[in-house]
Amino acid sequence: MNVPFQHAGASQHLMIVDCDIHPAYRTPADLHPFLPARWREHMTTFGEHLRQGLSGQLAWPRMMAAGMRLDAFPEAGPPGSDLELMRRQHLDANGVEYGMLMQLSRGGMEERNLDFAAALSRAVNDWQLEEWVKPEPRLRAGIVVPQEDAAFAVSEIERRANDPAFVQILISPRASDPLGHRRYWPIYEAAQRCRRPIALHVQGYSGGHASTGSGWPTYYMQEHYATTTGMQNTVTSLVFEGVFERFPDLKVVLIEGGFTWVPSLCWRMDKHWQRMRKETPDLKRPPSEYVRDHCWFTTQPIEEPEVPAHLADVISWLGWDRVMFSTDYPHWDFDHPQQAFKFELSEEQKRKVFRDNAKALYGLT
C-alpha cells in the first residue's frame, strides 16, 4: 500500500529537488552547432569510438522501449529531448523546484579518442547551457569531463567554474582505472578548488573492463545490478586511496547506484581496514567516517523491501542528511516523488530528502 506523500492537511505540495534528470538529443546533429567543423565531420565520418561490440546500441537490450517510460515519448525525438514535454509531464506536474541534468552520452567520458573526447565535452556543456538551462531556469547542468584526460578535464572545469548554471562535475564511475587512482587526483583538486561536488552517475559504457570481477553478465537483469556493485567498488577505491584524506573538502554524489548497500560496505571496509591498517597508513580515520562525511546518495531506483520500514533502518544508519531524492526521468525505472517511499516519513525527513539536502549540497537557495 502506498502512503500518501502529501500529508493530509498540507495546503500544498513540497517543492522538490530532483537530483537526476536525463536530457536527450533529438538527433546527434543537435551537438553540431557546438562542435568545431573538424569534429562535426569526424562525428559523421567516424562517430564515437567506444569499448563495445555494437554500434549505437548496448549489448544488453533494455526492457521497456529502449529503457524509457512509454508515456515519455514526445511527437519527435526520444524521451527527454523535448523541453515542453519535460516541463508538462515532470517539472510542472511534480513540483520540481530544481532539476539536476545528467547528460551521459556523447560527452566524452567513454570516448577512446581523447582529442574527440575533449571536443565532445566542451560541446555537451555548451549544449546543456543553451538548450536547457538558459530556457528553463529550474534546471542545472553538470560539467561533463573525460576523466581519462585529467589535464583537459581540469581546464574544462576551470572554464565553467564561474558559471552558476553548472553545479557539479560529471565523470564516469566505470573509468579505465578505479577512481581513487592518483591520475584522477587533479580532477578532485579542481573540484575542491571550484567548490563543486563530483557526480558519479552509473554508466552503461565500459571503461575497458568487464562489469563484474568474473566477466560479463548474460542478462540485462544482471547488468542492471552490476551498476550497484560497481559503485561499491568505486567508493572503496576513493576511500582506500586516500582521496578524502587528501582532499578534505571534496564532496561526491553517487547517482542511481542505490544506497542500501552503504552501511554493509562501510562495516566491511572498517573491519578489514582495522586488520590491514599497515597497508594504508595515510588513512587517519575509519572508512565509514570518510563515507559519512564526503558522500551523498540519490534515492532512485529506490529499494522496495517486503517490509517497507526496513528501508528506514538503513537510512537511519546512513543519515537522513545523506540521501537525496531523484526520479531518473524519463527512464523506465523512474521513481515518482509521491510514490517512492512506501512508509511514512516525518515532515523533517521529507524536507531533507526531497529538498534541503540537495539545496545545501549544491548551494541553491
Partner 1 sequence: MSRQVVARASEVVPGTSKIVTVKGRDIGIFNIDGSYFALANRCPHAGGPLCSGRIVPLAMSDGPGHYRLARHQEFLRCPWHGWEFDIRTGQSWCDPHSTRARQFAVTIESGAELVKGPYVAETFTVSVEEDYLVIELAG
Partner 2 sequence: MKVPFAGAIDCDLHPLMPSATALLPYLDEYWRDQLVNRHIDRYSFVLTSYPPYSPLSARPDWRQTSGLPAGDIDAIRRHALDPFGTRLAICNVLHGAVALFNEDMAAALCAAVNDWTAKELLDREPRLRASILLPAHNPALALREIERLAPDRRFVQVLLLAMGEMLLGRRTYWPIYAAAEKHGLAIGIHAGSTYHHAPTPSGWPAHRVEDYVAQSAAFESQLLSFLTEGVFQKFPALKLVLIESGVTWLPTLLWRTNKTWRGVRTEVPWIDRPPAELLREHVRLTLQPLDVPRGDPQWFARVLDHVGSDRMLLFSTDYPHWHFDGEDVLPDGLTDDTLRRFMIDNPLETYPRLRDGTVAHHAVLRDNASASQEHVR
Q: Which three cell numbers stand for residue 256?
A: 542511481
| C-alpha dist (Å) from residue 13 to 19, 96, 100, 218, 358 | 18, 10, 20, 43, 17
**Can you say whether the dihedral through the CA atoms of 34, 84, 97, 252 is positive or negative?**
negative
Q: How far is the CB of 224 from partner 2 (least distance, A)?
A: 6
Binding mask 69-108 for partner 1 (x = CB under 8 A): xxx-------------------------------------
Q: How far is the CB of 342 from partner 2 (least distance, A)?
A: 11
Binding of partner 1 by 335 (CB under 8 A): yes
Per CB under 8 A, contacts with partner 2 among 207-236 are 207-222, 224-226, 228-230, 232-234, 236
**63 sits near partner 1 (criterion: CB under 8 A):** yes
Site string for partner 1, 139-178 (x = CB under 8 A): ----------------------------------------
Q: How far is CA 360 from each of CA 86, 315, 321, 323, 352, rounded to the nearest angstrom?
A: 25, 18, 10, 12, 10
Q: Which one of 52-60, 67-75, 197-205, 352-360 is the stretch in contact with partner 1 (CB under 8 A)?
A: 67-75
Please measure the distance between the N-terminal and C-terminal CA atoms of the chain and give it in whole angstroms.
34
* H-helix segments, 64-169: 83-86, 114-128, 150-160
Q: Establish if 289 lies at the interface with partner 2 (CB under 8 A).
A: no
Smallest gap from residue 54 Cβ to partner 2 (A): 17
Contact call for residues 220 and 261 (beta carbons, < 8 A): no
Binding mask 243-282 for partner 2 (x = CB under 8 A): ---------------x-xx-xxx-xxxxxxx-xx-xxx--
- Spatial separation of the C-alpha atoms in residues 246 and 283, rounded to whole Å: 9
Q: Which does 279 bind (CB under 5 to 8 A by kind): partner 1, partner 2, none?
A: partner 2
Taking alpha carbons only, the member of 122, 209, 121 closest to residue 173 is: 209
Q: Assess 222 for contact with partner 1 (CB under 8 A).
A: no
40 binds, among partner 2, partner 1, none (CB under 5 to 8 A by kind): none
Nearest in space to 168 (alpha carbons), one of 19, 292, 318: 19
SS3 101: strand
Q: Using the rule CB under 8 A, is 340 a contact of partner 1?
A: yes
Q: How far is the CB of 334 from partner 1 (least distance, A)?
A: 6
Footprint of partner 1 on 2-21 (CB under 8 A): 2
User: In terms of Cα–Cα distance, which of 279, 277, 285, 278 is closest to 244?
Assistant: 285
- Interface residue list for partner 1 (CB under 8 A): 2, 63-64, 69-71, 332-336, 338-340
